[in-house]
Amino acid sequence: MHTDLVAALDIGGTKIAGALVDGHGRILLRAQVATPAQEDGDTVMGAVAQVLGELTASPRWGEARAVGIGSAGPVDASAGTVSPVNVPGWRGYPLVERVRAATGGLPVSLIGDGVAITAAEHWQGAARGHDNALCMVVSTGVGGGLVLGGRLHPGPTGNAGHIGHISVDLDGDACPCGARGCVERIASGPNIARRAVERGWRPGPDGDASAAAVAAAAVAGDPVAAASFERAAQALAAGIAATATLVEIDIAVIGGGVAKAGEVLFAPLRRALTDYATLSFVQGLEVVPARMGTDAGLVGAAAAALTGVERETVAGV
Ligand SMILES: [Zn+2]
């Protein structure tokens, strides 16, 4: 019997995914709907309830001991609320309470999506066996999370490790977060593409002006496309080096759509790290691609739920 079965929710601006996950991180059942991101808060919650309804209808549901949620941020794990930037109907939305009510009072753990991906990479992916790691997602935005001393470090509100909004260019472009020169403002997919276009790169006949198209152009030898990835790599390297210097990580794991560019990103990133990670205790820092793929958010949310169950068991609650 799977006494360690948990439910997982991965809530983003485009989709809401749910799963029943066993103690080995295997997904036994999954459900998914599009996020009605521009609707009011209760409509978005209705979509979450629909996903949960598919899970609770399963004959295995009775074995589920807890629910883990990885949500687009910011989240406030201490208050049990979420305010995802791309879901304006949810501001300080009491997601934990609503999910608890929809699942018959199961314990609910909430973490940010970057932290969830970190939990997944540490449990089963590229950070496995590393006690001190930074895991990042570089796609439409740049997020991340930390493993410190062998444990996930979500921080009090569940957002620790949000490397995308560390400033690496003090007088740089204004970032939507309110600061300037953030890693995300330089290294996210849309910003890689924007910078390439500004410097004269033009998409091919298919009109694809995404970061993936810029990556393909870089592979084909386009210097402007390559330079835009090099600038992104430099920003990522500065952020990673700052993190390593601050808390002594020995590996940085990078996933997300932009990381699919492979060596177009990783080669200049490793070079740039030698410029910024200079002190003896950070020189051995490794940078590797993520391994978990699109299920990382669900698997990480399940890890958070299982950790929550362990904590309660230890505490005798
Ligand atoms: Zn920012």
Mean residue pLDDT across the chain = 95
Ligand 1 geometric centre to CA of 185 (Å):
7
The pLDDT value recorded for residue 317 is: 41
Which one-letter amino acid corresponds to residue 136? M
6-115+295-315 and 128-291: identical CATH topology: yes
Ligand 1 geometric centre to CA of 165 (Å):
4
List of residues 6+ apart from 24 with CB closer than 8 A: none
Distance CA 151, CA 128 (A): 11
Ligand 1 geometric centre to CA of 205 (Å):
33
Ligand 1 geometric centre to CA of 92 (Å):
20
Ligand 1 geometric centre to CA of 77 (Å):
21
Q: Which two tokens stand for residue 188?
A: 């996210």
The pLDDT value recorded for residue 1 is: 46
Ligand 1 geometric centre to CA of 307 (Å):
30
Ligand 1 geometric centre to CA of 178 (Å):
6
- pTM recorded for the entire structure: 0.92
Ligand 1 geometric centre to CA of 180 (Å):
6
Return left, alpha or beta for 300; rule: phi > 0 is left, psi -120 to 50 is alpha, else beta: alpha
Q: Which string of DSSP letters, residue by residue, matches 65-114? A: --EEEEESS-EETTTTEE--TT-TT-SSB-HHHHHHHHTTS--EEEEEHH
CATH 3.30.420.40 assigned to domain 6-115+295-315? The reply is yes
Domain edges within the chain: 6-115+295-315, 128-291
The pLDDT value recorded for residue 15 is: 95
Q: Which two tokens stand for residue 317?
A: 């609650």
List pLDDT tens digits, range 279-315. 999 999 999 999 998 899 999 999 999 987 676 665 5
Class level of CATH domain 128-291 = alpha beta
Dihedral sign (CA 258, 189, 176, 196): positive
Question: Can you tell me the mean pLDDT for 15-25?
Answer: 96
List C-alpha distances in Å: 87 to 37, 84, 148, 230, 260. 5, 5, 30, 32, 26
The pLDDT value recorded for residue 308 is: 79
